[in-house]
Amino acid sequence: MLRTITTHQLLKSTSTLSVASITRIVVPGVRTLTTKSDPNQAAHSNVTENMPRDVYREVLDSRPIPMREEFMLNQKLTTEALEKIDFGPGKHHVPKTMGDKMAYYGVKCLRTIPDTYFGRDHYMRAVMLETIAAVPGMVGGMLRHMKSLRNLSDDNGWISHLLHEAENERFHLMTFMKCLQPSTFNRLLILGAQGVFYNAYFFLYLFSPKNAHRMCGYLEEEAVVSYTHFLDDLDSGAIKNDPAPKIAIDYYNLQPSATIRDVVLAVRADEAVHRDANHFFSDRIADNKENILEEVMAKHKEDVNNQLQKNRNAMA
């Protein structure tokens, strides 16, 4: 949030300048901006000179936003605060329909592959997991975007969350990539697994969004379990609790002294959100109540009115 505010202030103060006329501006948390007057940045000058102003602004403003509101508070989170986040330990959606059971047992079957291959190599398991986990949100968001275009109607509040989910999972991947260097074979394994999963999930979502979200919900249940095992091995000393990558400290608003354990706590909390959201979406599709935006706006209006009434009563 601080970076976004600072960026807007920078743009406002330089609104009368062209992109190329900015000599050198240093903003905390934002990459240094330079012009062709800097010989070390000559290759970049042509890009910024020809870049539309709005693209320039958007690139400056681009910053991944965490899923949970706890990570967007003003104070930096301590280990104790992270441990108090309710991630719903043991939370599980009991399969009811045949589609639910197929999704559940399908995910359980898929889990045996990383369990067998990666074992307790939690870093590599996390990298593989996140390359897969970032697929459903993007596929769902894309297909719902296309459906909105075809039907000439609003998406009813789904697309933005699904794309945010995909970005959040991708950021998990960027975090853990700071902790290891996958072998060539593992990179090929990731490439193949993502290719197979993307196409399989695409067709599943195309024909049955309800079962696709249910499957994703079960995948996230397993992700919560995997990160809990990660924490167990960190606590037992089986894995060294190294300092957290700076990218994760900035993203989750952690203390400068944060460790990998803090990061895993934060990531597990994110996965719990994805778990609950996808089971919720599957239930809404099953109940034929997909217009969540209308209900959310009505509830928000009610909450605002209730708060105003409380304020009036307090002043009376």
- State residue 315's pLDDT score: 84
Residue 144 φ/ψ, nearest 5 degrees = -70, -30
Mean pLDDT of 291-315: 85
Q: What digits encode the pLDDT tens for the residues 104-135?
A: 999 999 899 888 888 889 999 999 999 999 99
Give 210 or 72, the one with higher predicted confidence. 210
Which pLDDT belongs to residue 311? 85
Q: How far apart are CA 263 and CA 270, in angstroms?
A: 11
Distance from C-alpha of 143 to C-alpha of 150, rounded to nearest angstrom? 10
Query: For 16-25, 57-66, 126-135, 147-156, which range has the lowest pLDDT when averaged over its residues?
Result: 16-25
Residue 165 is assigned to a ligand binding site: no
DSSP letters for 202-243? HHHHHH-HHHHHHHHHHHHHHHHHHHHHHHHHHHHTSS--PB
Q: How many residues does the chain have?
A: 316
201-210 per-position pLDDT tens digit: 999 999 999 9
Q: Report whether 279 belongs to an annotated binding site.
A: no
Q: Say whether 172 counts as a known binding-site residue.
A: yes
Is 169 labelled a binding residue?
Answer: yes
Is 130 marked as a binding-site residue? yes
Task: Check whether 220 is labelled as a binding-site residue.
Answer: yes
- The separation between the first and the last C-alpha atoms of the chain, rounded to the nearest angstrom, is 36
Query: Rounded distance, CA 241 to CA 235, Å?
Result: 8
The mean pLDDT value for 93-104 works out to 95
Structure tokens at 239: 């894995």
